[in-house]
């Protein structure tokens, strides 16, 4: 079961082998009122403790598939269901230090039935999350 908050309380973790962390991941629910095609999900900006990681460089994982922003935009047949979580993977050599971090995200969904100049809707969320020792 997913939590109501966009940023889920589980899934915030460093990625990569211990001693050679490549970055970190955080788990999200879909910022929408119904499922959507991945091509309409326009990425996630992430800020951790004031350090900004732009959506153009972050990757998105769902159902054991990993996508860059450009690959997401091309996924017209792949779907993100309302009751599925996805993960944002952020490159940060060494990962994050163990402890509590302020995590902020801006997730963007495009709506095909709005005009192009107003069809991207950002959803903002923040929470404190903890990286535990490996």
The model's pTM is 0.92
Buried b vs exposed e over 20-38: b needs ≥16 C-beta within 10 Å?
A: ebebbbbbbbbbbeeebeb
Q: Read off the pLDDT of residues 89-131 as tens digits, 9 standing for 90 and up.
A: 999 999 999 999 999 999 999 887 777 666 788 999 999 999 9
Rounded CA separation 33/74 (Å): 22
Rounded CA separation 56/44 (Å): 8
Q: Read off the pLDDT of residues 14-65 as tens digits, 9 standing for 90 and up.
A: 999 988 999 999 999 998 888 999 999 999 999 999 999 999 999 999 999 9
Average pLDDT taken over every residue of the chain = 93
Q: Cβ distance 131 to 52 under 8 Å?
A: no
Q: Cβ distance 84 to 63 under 8 Å?
A: yes
**The pLDDT value given to residue 117:** 67
All structural domains of the chain with their residue ranges = 13-129
């Amino acid at each position: 079961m997913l939590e109501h908050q966009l940023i889920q309380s589980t899934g915030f973790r460093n990625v990569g082998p211990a001693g050679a962390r490549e970055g970190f991941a955080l788990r999200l629910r879909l910022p929408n009122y119904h499922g959507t095609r991945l091509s309409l999900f326009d990425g996630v900006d992430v800020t951790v403790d004031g350090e900004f990681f732009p959506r153009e460089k972050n990757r998105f994982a769902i159902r054991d598939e990993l996508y860059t922003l450009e690959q997401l935009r091309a996924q017209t047949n792949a779907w993100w269901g309302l009751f599925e979580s996805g993960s944002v993977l952020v490159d940060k050599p060494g990962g994050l230090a163990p402890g509590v971090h302020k995590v902020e995200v801006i997730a963007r969904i495009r709506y095909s039935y709005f005009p192009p100049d107003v069809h991207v809707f950002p959803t903002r969320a923040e929470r404190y999350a903890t990286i535990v020792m490996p």
